[in-house]
């Protein structure tokens, strides 16, 4: 579904991504972790071409991002993305947040978009809030709306960039529950997260990044199994994370 091939990216002379390659198969859940500044956000934003890269290619559902003929907005409409800071549109109501792209991008009718939006809102348990504005919801509720907004586009894959790291601890689980459910339904997912409980529960593979490189890319059992098999940097990282 996603195939990342030897991607290199620079900001000026600073190389953020070095020779990154990996695959995410249909229905697979891949968790990406690594220290701050290691390039996790950059990598995941390359997957829906929110960030350009200079070398290599990423193919999403048979569409090459590096190909200049690719219609990038169209590609992005099929890739759901959830951000650390939710990024709901504050000037629109919750139901408008859920419908605007369905109508303006996919060309669905208003009625169809609303029906779909409300169904998804119900699914994340927030149907009662349809007419509120994002500012009236808690962080956890906003993030659930953001997930519903992405799902409303019927994406072939979902990308998450630290979806719970801006939340108060008591709200983390309500968001993770939605993500777990999504994973169990067979959604293809690439998640940047440090929630190792989530990774243990639903991930198929774990990728560990450091300094712009993919250092580890292995099945979950291996990643959490015999830690001594892991690279030194991954061991340090895991030790630090699992302390908390």
Partner 1 sequence: MMDFSAIVPALPGLWDGLLMTLQLMVMGVLGGVVLGTLLALMRLSHNRLLATIAATYVNYFRSIPLLLVITWFYFAVPFILRWITGEDTPVGAFASCLVAFVMFEAAYFCEIVRAGIQAIPRGQMGAAQALGMSYGQTMRLIILPQAFRKMTPLLLQQSIILFQDTSLVYTVGLMDFLNAARSRGDIIGQPHEFLIFAGLVYFTISFAAAQVVKLLQKRLAV
Ligand X SMILES: Nc1ncnc2c1ncn2[C@@H]1O[C@H](COP(=O)(O)OP(=O)(O)OP(=O)(O)O)[C@@H](O)[C@H]1O
Q: Which residues pair with 22 in a beta bridge?
A: 4
Q: Does 197 bind ligand X (CB under 6 A)?
A: no
Show the site string, 3-42: x = touches ligand X by CB under 6 A, - = not: --------x----x-----------------x-xxxxxxx
Distances (CA, A) of 24 to 5, 49, 189: 12, 16, 8
Please check whether residue 13 is in contact with residue 206, taking contact to mean a CB–CB distance below 8 angstroms.
Answer: no
Least Å distance between CB 115 and ligand X?
A: 36
Q: Which two tokens stand for residue 120?
A: 């998804």
Least Å distance between CB 40 and Mg ion?
A: 5
Across the chain, how many H-helices and E-strands are there? 9, 10
Q: Does 193 bind ligand X (CB under 6 A)?
A: no
In the complex with Mg ion, the residue whose CB is nearer, 41 or 97, is: 41
Q: Among residues 22, 38, 41, 48, which is the contact residue for Mg ion, using CB under 5 A?
A: 41
User: What 3-state class would DSSP assign to 42?
Assistant: helix
Please check whether residue 2 is in contact with residue 158, taking contact to mean a CB–CB distance below 8 angstroms.
Answer: no
Least Å distance between CB 10 and ligand X?
A: 9
Least Å distance between CB 104 and ligand X?
A: 28
Please check whether residue 209 is in contact with residue 161, taking contact to mean a CB–CB distance below 8 angstroms.
Answer: no
Site residues, ligand X (CB under 6 A): 11, 16, 34, 36-42
Residue numbers at the binding site for Mg ion (CB under 5 A): 41
């Amino acid at each position: 579904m996603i195939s990342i091939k030897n991607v290199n990216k620079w900001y000026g002379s600073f190389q953020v991504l070095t020779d990154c390659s990996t695959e995410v198969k249909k229905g697979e859940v891949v968790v990406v972790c690594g220290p701050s500044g290691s390039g996790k956000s950059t990598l995941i934003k390359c997957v829906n071409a929110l960030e350009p890269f200079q070398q290599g290619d990423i193919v999403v559902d048979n569409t090459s991002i590096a190909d200049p003929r690719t219609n990038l907005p169209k590609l992005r409409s099929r890739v759901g993305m959830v951000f650390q800071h939710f990024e709901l549109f504050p000037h629109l109501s919750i139901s408008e947040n859920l419908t605007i792209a369905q109508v303006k991008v996919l060309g669905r009718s208003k009625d169809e978009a609303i029906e779909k939006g409300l169904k998804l809102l119900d699914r994340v348990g927030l149907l009662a809030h349809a007419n509120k504005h994002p500012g009236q919801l808690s962080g956890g509720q906003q993030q659930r709306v953001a997930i519903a907004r992405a799902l409303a586009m019927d994406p072939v894959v979902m990308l998450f960039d630290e979806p719970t790291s801006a939340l108060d601890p008591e709200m983390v689980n309500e968001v993770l529950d939605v993500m777990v459910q999504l994973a169990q339904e067979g959604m293809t997912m690439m998640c940047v997260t440090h929630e190792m409980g989530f990774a243990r529960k639903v991930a198929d593979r774990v990728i560990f990044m450091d300094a712009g490189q993919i250092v580890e890319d292995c099945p979950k059992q291996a990643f959490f199994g015999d830690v001594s098999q892991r690279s030194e940097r991954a061991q340090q990282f895991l030790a630090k994370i699992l302390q908390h």
